[in-house]
Amino acid sequence: MKIIMLGAPGAGKGTQAKVISEKYGIPHISTGDIFRANIKNGTELGKKAKAFMDEGKLVPDELTVELLLDRVGKSDCEGGYILDGFPRTIPQAEVLTEALAKTGDKVDFAINVDVPDEHIVRRMKGRRNCPACGASYNLEFNPPKAENTCDKCGAELVMRDDDKPETVAKRLEVYHEQTQPLIAYYEQQGVLRTVDGTLSMDGVFRAIQDILG
């Protein structure tokens, strides 16, 4: 079962990917994690990616897909995997589709977690993170027990720069321009499934379970 998670920044697709991973026993894979692992381990692909990143350039789609295919070729991906954060554009999706087809493979489900922009702005404005232990909260949906204080370690919570309304608006603009067209792309391939991302976290997961079976 090979799954791609789609949705705007802040839609909750990363959270759902983790829950799907635990429930179905398949790895949750993000391109960021792949880059970091290959660079840390000094692999040939990692060295190539690092050369682009050191120059402040984006890693080319072909190299990103090569890194991705290397990762999904590992034994823990035999039963499937969930891709989170890739593809982000139509060209990336086309490169991935072609690369998978060469090995007789394909994406089984592209799950779109659909949330209106205004809901995302409100949701992300309430997000707070603990800089000490990494715990995350939401003032509206999952508030800490004591105001602005981490339940786990007592550190003061902070709002990340990319959760600020003006940054969120810019990220949504980029999403609609570059990533939203993937919805039509995977719909044409017959693998798109859309769930209502404004439901509770459990409600969204139940809807995804109904799709995956």
Q: What is the pLDDT of residue 55?
A: 87
> Pick the catalytic residue: 88, 122, 125, 193?
88
Q: Indicate if 128 belongs to the active site.
A: no
Q: What is the pLDDT of residue 32?
A: 82
Instruction: Note the pLDDT tens digit of each residue in 31-74.
Output: 888 988 999 999 999 999 999 888 888 888 889 989 998 999 89
Instruction: Note the pLDDT tens digit of each residue in 175-213.
Output: 999 999 999 999 999 999 999 999 988 999 999 999 998
- Helices 165-174 and 117-125 pack at an angle, to 10 degrees, of 140
Q: Indicate if 170 belongs to the active site.
A: no
Q: What is the pLDDT of residue 173?
A: 93
107 with 186: CB under 8 angstroms? yes
Q: What is the pLDDT of residue 147?
A: 94
The half-sphere exposure of 76 on its side-chain side, counting CA atoms within 13 A, is: 9
> Pick the catalytic residue: 122, 125, 171, 193?
171
Q: Indicate if 36 belongs to the active site.
A: no
Q: Which domains does the chain have, with CATH numbers?
A: 2-212 (3.40.50.300)
Instruction: Note the pLDDT tens digit of each residue in 67-117.
Output: 998 999 899 999 999 999 899 899 999 999 998 999 899 999 999 999 999
Q: What is the pLDDT of residue 114?
A: 97
Q: Indicate if 160 belongs to the active site.
A: yes
Which residues lie closer than 8 Å to 169 by C-beta, 6 or more apart?
A: 121
How far apart CA 175 and CA 181 sit, in angstroms, is 9
Q: What are the residues facing 6 on neighbouring strands?
A: 112
- Coil vs helix vs strand at 61: helix
Q: Indicate if 88 belongs to the active site.
A: yes
**Residue 175 tokens, joined:** 């999403």
